[in-house]
Amino acid sequence: MSAILDPTVSAIAREATSESGLRIVRRRNIGRWVAAALLLAALAWLVRAFALGDIEWRVVGEFFTARAIMTGLVNTIIMTACAMALGITLGVVFAVMYMSPNPVLRLTALFYIWFFRGTPLILQLLIWFNLALVFPTMGIPGLFEVRTVDVITPFMATLLGLGMNQGAYTAEVVRSGILSVDVGQTEAAKSIGMTRLTTLRRIVLPQAMRVIIPPVGNEFISMVKLTSIASVIQYSEILRNAQTIYYANARVIELLIVAAAWYLAVVTLLQIGQYFLEKHFSKGRGDRTQKRQPAGRTPAPAEGAASRTEA
């Protein structure tokens, strides 16, 4: 018996044979066009409102690259980078401690996460900033000692506050990432003689990244904005410097627009970075969004890891 029906006896077989060579016309997606039109109209209205409103755009332009704003921008970026670096490091360390067979490490991690997630961030900032009230000096008595107020500058207090708080949240994200990796991966790693830590570093964490990056990217972006609460302890980031300026010249909205534009610029860059990181860590996962190929309908030649050519 032949594998396919004889087209001369089956109508459907005849139809399918003739269809297999036809041209493909893509779906129209009328909804998308309507949505785009509505959105454009709304945007035009918004632009008009701002253009006609009582905003001195000249002032916005003038202060856009003002020295105080630039200093604030640099401080915001530095603080975001440092606080996230601290947060991610602590997050990984405490996630691993939390999952360790050692009960002492587990309890320590539990306590850390409990404390830093359980109290408001602004309170933690104030505690760090006022640490000198409790410990006037720090160090090892007799060996070296420094005055706490000299160490806990607004920068240090903000870094510790934001970073340690972030660490508690990131620890949970990292933990769920680690849990998402199949135990078979760990067993295979052990079977080729890897220790627990090597397995974590070489096998589990790289695969957990796929799950970890989207929420951490999200938190990175939150952090850019969260640095602004450090203005309560005199850390001069963008928002605080913008405020200092408008207290003097009363151009409130203009300076807020300047600050907003810079926040958006930084966040945009971060989002682009996140896109590339996600792409990097989805190596070996294949491409799930394949479409039927239009021209000639033969699949394009294999594009590295992204395509699956085997039937």
Partner 1 sequence: MDHSVEPMVVARGVDKYFGTLKALDRVSLDVAQGEVVCIIGPSGSGKSTFLRCINQLEVIEAGAIHVAGELVGYRRVGDALHELSDVEIARQRLSSGMVFQRFNLFTHMTALQNVMEGPVTVQRRPRAEVRDEALALLERVGLAAKRDAYPLEMSGGQQQRVAIARALAMKPRLMLFDEPTSALDPELVGEVLTVMRDLAASGMTMIVVTHELGFAREVANRVVFMDHGGVVEVGPPKEILSSPQHPRTRDFIAAVLN
Can residue 150 be called a binding residue for partner 1 (CB under 8 A)? Answer: no
**Residue 193, interface with partner 1 (CB under 8 A)?**
yes
Q: Which of 91, 83, 110, 304 is nearest to 208 (CA)?
A: 91
Q: Write out the DSSP string of 283-296.
A: TTS--S------ST
Closest CB to partner 1 among 207 and 227?
207
What's the closest the beta carbon of residue 46 comes to partner 1, in angstroms? 44
Answer for which of 202, 269, 271, 290 binds partner 1 (CB under 8 A) is 202
**Residue among 6 and 310 whose Cβ is closer to partner 1:** 310
Q: Is 106 in the site for partner 1 (CB under 8 A)?
A: no
Residue 269, classed as helix, strand or coil, is: helix
| β 144-147/137-140 pair status | antiparallel
**Interatomic CA distance for residues 111 and 108, integer angstroms:** 5
- Choosing from 194, 253, 256, 277, the residue that interacts with partner 1 (CB under 8 A) is 194
**Shortest spacing between CB 210 and partner 1, in angstroms:** 9
Is residue 190 a contact point for partner 1 (CB under 8 A)?
yes
Helix (H, G, I), strand (E, B) or coil at 282: coil
CB-count exposure of residue 44 (10 Å: 0-12, 13-18, 19+): exposed
Please report whether residue 206 would count as binding partner 1 according to CB under 8 A: yes
Of the ranges 10-18, 19-27, 141-149, 195-203, which one interacts with partner 1 (CB under 8 A)?
Answer: 195-203
Contact 60, 257 (CB under 8 A): yes
By the rule CB under 8 A, 284 interacts with partner 1: yes
Say whether residue 234 binds partner 1 (CB under 8 A): no
Total residues in contact with partner 1, by rule CB under 8 A: 27
Residue 217 CB contacts under 8 Å (≥ 6 apart), including other chains: 270, 271, 274, 277, 278
Contact flag: residue 3 with partner 1 (CB under 8 A): no
Q: How far is the CB of 198 from partner 1 (least distance, A)?
A: 6
Nearest of 213, 215, 175, 178 to residue 199 by alpha carbon: 178
Residues engaged in binding partner 1 (CB under 8 A): 182, 184-185, 187-196, 198, 202-203, 206-207, 281, 283-286, 305, 308-310
